[in-house]
Amino acid sequence: MTTTTADVPPQVLHLAAWAEGPAAERDALIAGYLSTLEQLADPQLLAECLAVGLLHEMPEIRRQALAAAVRLAPDLAAEAVGWALADPDETVRGPALAALAATPALRAAGGPSALHALLAVLGRSPDQIAGGAGNYVTVADAQALASAQTLLADTALADTVLEELPVPLSADRLPSRLSLEGMRHIPAGRLRRGTPPGEERSWGDPGEPAVAEVTVEGFYLDTCPVTNDDYDAFVADVGEQGHLWCHPDEPRNTDHTRSTADDPRCAGGHPATGVSWYDAVAYAAWCGKRLPTEDEWERAARGDDHRRHPWGADFRPERVRGLHALLGWDGDVGLDRAAWLRRLADLSVAHLPALTGPVNLPGGESPFGVRDLCGNVWEWTSTRFLDGLPLQPRFAAMDPGDLWGEWSAEVSVRGGAWSSPPALLTTLSRAGKTLVTRSPEIGFRCAVSESEGPAR
C-alpha cells in the first residue's frame, strides 16, 4: 500500500513545512509531531512520518525524530542511527552515538550501516581507528571512535563493510561595515612552526612541518573570538536582507542559525559555537573581514619568540578553559592521548553543567595582546588541513553528507577547546574538521589584511 498525502497527519505536514520561526513555535510543532507518532499503528505510515523529522533541516527536529525512531520503530531505528552518525551537526551525532552504545540490539541490527557511517566520518582508515591515532579532537570524535572500535572488533561485520566502501571522493554587497575596533595589529614577521627548539615534543604537538619557517605579512586579528551575541546579530540580518554575504559554494538552503542557539550553557558573551566553516566565512564577510590563515593564527599566538603558550612556556591552568576546568582538575594532569579519549568517550555533553565560558579570560593574552587563543573553543581558519593550502571549496553540487572522509574538505582548526587536555591547549596543536561540521567545540575569530584596513 502506498501512503498518500491525505494519509499523513496534519501535525506531520505542518512540521515538514516549517523552516524558521520562534523557538516556542518550533517546540509546539515538535510536541504535536511526537504525540502524533505515538498514536500511529500503521508501520509504513509511522516510518514515513519519522523520515519527515529525520531528514528535516533543523538539527533539533532531527534529534527529536531520532529519539522517537529508537523508541517507536526498532525496524527503522538502525537505519535512522546510520543517517544520524554522518550528520554534520555534532549535537545530532551525539545522541545517535549514545543510542548505539546503549542498545546492543541496535548494534546487531544496524551494524553495517552504523560502521559504514562511522568509517566515513572518521576517515575510512580501519587501522588508524583501531589504534586510536587519528584526528580526533571533540567529544563526538571520541565517542564515534569508541563505537567504531567496538564494531570493527566483529571481523565478519568489518570485512563485509570494508568490501563495500566506496572509493574516497576527489576534490577538485552592501557598504562595508569594516571596523578595526576590537582588533589587534600583528606586525609582519617570521613564524617558526612546530615544537620550540630545545623543547621535548608533547603528544599533542603536530609532526615536523615540511617548511619550518615562513614570513607572515602584517594583519589585524580580533582580540577575542566572535561571541554568540555578535553572531546572532548577523543571523538576524541575514533573515532580513537575505544571503548577501555567503560563500558561493555553501550548501543550498543553508540556515546560519547556530546549532547551540537554544542551549542555555552557551551564553551571549561566550564564543559562538555550533557554526560551520561556511557560517564563519559568511559572518566574516558581513563584517568586511575574513578568516585568518593558519600561519596568521599561529603567529598571533606565538609572537616573535615562538612560544608554546600565548603567555609563555609553561602551562597555566587558570589562564585557559579546558577539560581540567570543567571537571575540577588542578590542570597538572598528565593525561596521555588514550586516557584522554577514554575520558571523552564517557562524557555526556547533554548532562555537563557547563561547556564554553565567557571570552576575554584574563592573563592569557599573547605577546600581541590577542586573548583566548587557547582553550574554550577550537577556531576555524582558512587553511586546508592536509596540505596547508588555502581552502577553495568546490562542493556545491554535492550533498554535505558526501564530504565526510574527503581530505580536501578538511579545514585546520587551532587552539584546543573546553574538552581538550593540557597537551592540546597550546599554540602548536592543530586538527582537521570537515567544513560542514557544526560542533559545540568549534568557534572562530576574524582577520583583516594590513593593506585592507581603513586608515586609523
Which pLDDT value is given to residue 424? 94
CB of 424 closer than 8 Å to CB of 337: no
CB of 297 closer than 8 Å to CB of 379: yes
Domain boundary residue, one of 164, 191, 226: 164
List all residues 6 or more positions away from 380 whose beta carbon is below 8 Å from its beta carbon: 277, 280, 291, 411, 413, 442, 443, 444
Task: Give the Cα separation of 344 and 182 in Å (integer).
Answer: 34
User: Is 244 in the same domain as 380?
Assistant: yes
Give me the residue label for grid cell 560542533. 439
User: Is 77 in the same domain as 225?
Assistant: no
Residue 54 lies in a domain: yes
Residue 234 lies in a domain: yes
Determine the 3-state secondary structure of 378 from DSSP.
Answer: strand
- Amino acid residing at 120: A
User: Is 282 in the same domain as 356?
Assistant: yes
List all residues 6 or more positions away from 46 whose beta carbon is below 8 Å from its beta carbon: 37, 40, 72, 73, 76
Task: Give the Cα separation of 157 and 143 in Å (integer).
Answer: 20
User: Is 225 in the same domain as 354?
Assistant: yes
- Domain carrying residue 418: 183-452
User: Which grid coordinates are listed for 51?
Assistant: 523520515
Residue 173 lies in a domain: no
Residue 315 lies in a domain: yes
Residue 175 lies in a domain: no
- Digitized pLDDT (tens) for each residue of the chain, 456 residues in all: 344 556 889 999 999 988 888 889 999 999 999 999 999 989 889 999 999 999 898 889 999 999 998 889 877 888 888 878 888 888 888 888 888 877 777 777 788 888 888 887 776 677 778 888 777 888 888 888 888 888 888 888 888 888 776 554 443 345 567 889 999 999 999 999 988 888 888 899 998 888 889 999 999 999 999 999 999 999 999 998 888 888 888 887 788 999 999 999 999 999 999 999 999 999 999 999 999 999 999 999 999 999 999 999 899 999 999 988 887 765 555 678 888 888 888 888 888 888 999 999 988 999 999 999 999 999 999 999 988 999 988 887 777 778 887 888 999 999 999 999 999 999 999 999 999 999 999 999 999 999 887 655
Residue 396 lies in a domain: yes
Count of CA atoms in the C-beta half-sphere (13 A) of 39: 10
Structural domain count of the chain = 2
Task: Give the Cα separation of 342 and 422 in Å (integer).
Answer: 15
Number of other CB atoms surrounding residue 218 within 10 Å: 15
Domain boundary residue, one of 137, 164, 191: 164
User: Is 141 in the same domain as 228?
Assistant: no
User: Is 79 in the same domain as 35?
Assistant: yes
User: Is 286 in the same domain as 335?
Assistant: yes
Which pLDDT value is given to residue 78? 82
User: Is 139 in the same domain as 284?
Assistant: no
User: Is 119 in the same domain as 204?
Assistant: no
pLDDT digits (tens, 9 = 90+) for 24-51: 999 999 999 999 999 998 988 999 999 9
Whole-prediction pTM value?
Answer: 0.81
User: Is 157 in the same domain as 236?
Assistant: no
CB of 300 closer than 8 Å to CB of 268: no
Residue 176 lies in a domain: no
Q: Which is nearest to 299 in space by CA: 180, 454, 185?
A: 185
Which pLDDT value is given to residue 128? 77
User: Which grid coordinates are listed for 247?
Assistant: 560563500
Which pLDDT value is given to residue 407? 85
User: Is 323 in the same domain as 205?
Assistant: yes
Residue 169 lies in a domain: no
User: Is 190 in the same domain as 219?
Assistant: yes
Which pLDDT value is given to residue 209? 85
Task: Give the Cα separation of 125 and 289 in Å (integer).
Answer: 37
